[in-house]
Amino acid sequence: MDKHFWTKVGLGILVVSLTVAFSMLNMGGVASAKQWPKSLTLTTPPAGATLSVYGMGIAKIVEGALKIPTGPENAKGSFPAAMLLVKGDAQLAAITACEKIYGFYDRSPFPKGSSKILRGITFGEYKAVGHWIVRAKSDFQSIPDLKGKRVMCVRPRQALYQDNWKATLAAYGMTEKDIVAKPALGQRDACAALKERRTDAFFHHSAAPGPAFMELALTTPIRIVPLTDAGYKKVKEKCPWVSPIVVPAGTYKGQSKDALQTATFSGIVTRNDLPDDLVYNIAKAIHENMDQLRSVHKAFTKWTMKGLVNGPVTCPYHAGALKYYKEKGLVTPESLKTHEALLAKSGQSR
């Protein structure tokens, strides 16, 4: 045997070990991957909702890049999806700014301590637009015109809907007693009810244009009942998570005028106790696979990572995601300032 055999073996082992170590470091901390969960669950609203498609797209990216089975799981809505995350039954969730605000401020129905759990990965780009939809040939030109009419809008325990439509009625001096408030259905079922004249109007959140609404308009032209500027401001006072958006004329067949509506930004949240290096790599995977995310829905085609990262920031960033964004120069000073203010207000350091 060569007298230098064991020396060579030792050197070989050292070289391999160093190669593996440097390789892991280049992946942003994957060296501690053995501490990661063996699988991840990402909860989303019901299948078919645009936010659900967004969540499924993220789950696919995470699984492909990190090689961790990441199963999307449909909940009954954004609030139930967020609640599964808070309870520890999921590690990621696709939810709106409404749930982020309610959860971060421990507001009912979220349990106390939710503010220490919810942390953001993405905040911007996708806007769930409030749609007050009627048939184009109807006489309903404004919210007050809906007095005494059948409106599908009731979604118990879903503040994104409940607080919004109630605030909208209140903005015009109305209450739910002024309309025939009916249970809200899924988008396609609501469209069928309007087409079959089983309802006079419905209120729903969706990307604009929403595929189900576009399909309805092909056979039953529709119109969006607009908010006034004053009406929007009053809604904003009661629903701080909304932003203004104008749905342009022609978005749907039958819509001949621009329509001011409320929009709620949505994104991906996680648990604060998920390992920093794991969330760092989730943020990295999303950034490096933006083309894949843009391809999953036509509403996503112009998305940018900087747009996803920067707001409105409605709960603090997860430390792992923030580390990646700082390294890549993706987070703006304004977003960072909001992040720090939220932590300070809640008495938390991260």
The pLDDT score that the predictor gives to residue 128 is 87
The pLDDT score that the predictor gives to residue 206 is 87
Range of lowest pLDDT (31-35, 114-118, 202-206, 299-303) = 31-35
Write the CA distances from 153 to 13, 48, 160, 181, 229, integer angstroms: 66, 18, 11, 6, 22
The pLDDT score that the predictor gives to residue 25 is 43
The pLDDT score that the predictor gives to residue 72 is 92
Q: Which two tokens stand for residue 89?
A: 């039954």
Q: Which two tokens stand for residue 138?
A: 């109807």
127 DSSP 8-state letter: E
The pLDDT score that the predictor gives to residue 207 is 85
Global model pTM greater than 0.85 = no
**How sure is the predictor about 178, in pLDDT bands with cuts at 50, 70 and 90?**
very high
Residue 43 has, within 13 A of its CA and on its CB side, a CA count of 23
* Res. 40: pLDDT tops 50: yes
**How sure is the predictor about 9, in pLDDT bands with cuts at 50, 70 and 90?**
very low
Pairing state between β 70-74 and 40-44:
parallel
Phi and psi based region of residue 107 (left: phi greater than 0; alpha: psi -120 to 50; beta: remaining): beta
The residues, any chain, with a CB within 8 Å of residue 286's CB and separated by 6 or more, are 58, 61, 62, 121, 122, 268, 293, 305, 308
Q: Are 319 and 300 in contact (CB under 8 A)?
A: no
**How sure is the predictor about 29, in pLDDT bands with cuts at 50, 70 and 90?**
very low
Q: Give per-residue pLDDT as tens, 314-343.
A: 999 999 999 999 999 999 999 999 999 999
C-alpha R_g of the chain: 23
Q: Give per-residue pLDDT as tens, 274-285.
A: 999 999 999 999
The pLDDT score that the predictor gives to residue 257 is 95
* Res. 228: pLDDT tops 90: yes
d(CA 124, CA 266): 6
Mean pLDDT, the chain, integer: 90
Residue 275 burial (CB < 10 Å; 0-12/13-18/19+)? middle
d(CA 158, CA 183): 12
What is the mean pLDDT of the segment spanning 36-44? 95
The residues, any chain, with a CB within 8 Å of residue 112's CB and separated by 6 or more, are 106
116 DSSP 8-state letter: G
The dihedral through the CA atoms of 55, 57, 58, 62 has a sign that is positive
**How sure is the predictor about 14, in pLDDT bands with cuts at 50, 70 and 90?**
very low
* Res. 57: pLDDT tops 90: yes
Secondary structure (DSSP) of 42-110: EEESSTTSHHHHHHHHHHHHHHHHH---EEEEE-SSHHHHHHHHHHTS-SEEEEEHHHHHHHHTT-TTS
The pLDDT score that the predictor gives to residue 87 is 95
Q: Which of 293, 206, 187 is nearest to 245 (CA)?
A: 206
| Phi, psi for 80 (deg, rounded to 5) | -60, -35
d(CA 88, CA 277): 19
Give the ranges where the chain is alpha helix by DSSP (H): 5-25, 50-66, 78-87, 97-104, 159-171, 187-195, 211-219, 229-238, 276-288, 290-294, 305-309, 319-328, 333-346
